[in-house]
Amino acid sequence: MTLQKWVFLRKLAAGFPSSRSCPTHVLRLSQSAAVNMAEESKKLAAYFAVDNSVQNNQVVGVGSGSTIVYAVDRLAERVRQEQLNIVCVPTSFQARQLILQHGLTLSDLERHPELDVAIDGADEVDAELTLIKGGGGCLTQEKIVASCSKYFVVIADYRKDSKALGQQWKKGVPIEVIPMAYVPVSRMIAKRFGGEVNLRMAISKAGPVVTDNGNFILDWKFEHAQNWKEVNTAIKMIPGVVETGLFVNMAEQAYFGMEDGSVKVRKVPIN
């Protein structure tokens, strides 16, 4: 779907006084157009990041999530067309499968403990390049791989771009915990930092979500802005916490695919 058609459908739907008076087929077309535009924006950001961040003879950390699918598509395309020598280190089972499906060279942190660049998505990115990650449940391995890279790049669509965390992403900060500790950890976080802490439940299985590491995930819905560096450190010190979805002072650059077909680039602010 073209950008012009998407804009037209949005204006058409907006022209009705309420969703009740808007014809169902118009609402469906508008919603479908929004989904298509978001996917196109993800693809824009992913392609731009791979083209501008990956060079020959590099070890690349491959993130997880829906946006990364486009990044691996483009990476595989470049490897074939340019005969690049690229080694990939995954952050999850999903990432590992993508690497293998595209015929890319798979490795791990035992063989390649230092990466040239890591590319990953995010649930939200603030003005300081602080991230919330872990909506897909892969936060721990994602953070490990990002920490091992010389350069960490984030890719996302326009919906993930925020001035402050919590502005766009309303599901809270994911926190991976040892299963036996999820209740005391939940109580301690709520008591110390406020807000609401929920055990993430699975959709296609009975019971909670289980990570690739065999752990549970808590989603902490915070009430207000925090000193994220201090909060991240404090939560990680709670016995039973494996890792948080707060990525503070880790990302070097973020690429956002925008609604108008452009790519917005954000670098770490110079203080």
Q: 100: which 2 tokens?
A: 């293998």
> Given this model, what pLDDT does residue 32 score?
67
Same domain (yes/no): 107, 128: yes
- d(CA 10, CA 32) in angstroms, rounded, equals 10
Output the pLDDT for position 25. 54
Look at residue 165 and tell me if it is in a domain. no
Q: What is the pLDDT of residue 224?
A: 87
What's this model's pTM, rounded to 2 decimal places?
Answer: 0.87
Does the active-site annotation cover 82?
no
Give me the pLDDT at residue 35, please: 76
Residue among 142, 176, 196, 243 flagged as catalytic: 142
The total number of structural domains in the chain stands at: 3
| Same domain, yes or no: 138 and 238 | no
Tokens of 81: 């067309």
Mark whether 226 and 147 lie in a shared domain.
no
Q: Is 124 in contact with 118 (CB distance < 8 Å)?
A: no
233 in the same domain as 255: no
| Weakly modelled stretches of the chain, pLDDT under 70 | 1-33, 271
Tell me what pLDDT residue 30 has.
Answer: 56
- Give per-residue pLDDT as tens, 6-51: 444 444 444 545 445 556 554 454 566 677 899 999 999 999 999 9
Is the separation of the CB atoms in 78 and 84 below 8 Å?
yes
CATH number of the CATH domain containing 64: 3.40.50.1360
| Residue 168 within any structural domain of the chain | no
- Let me know if residue 92 belongs to a domain: yes
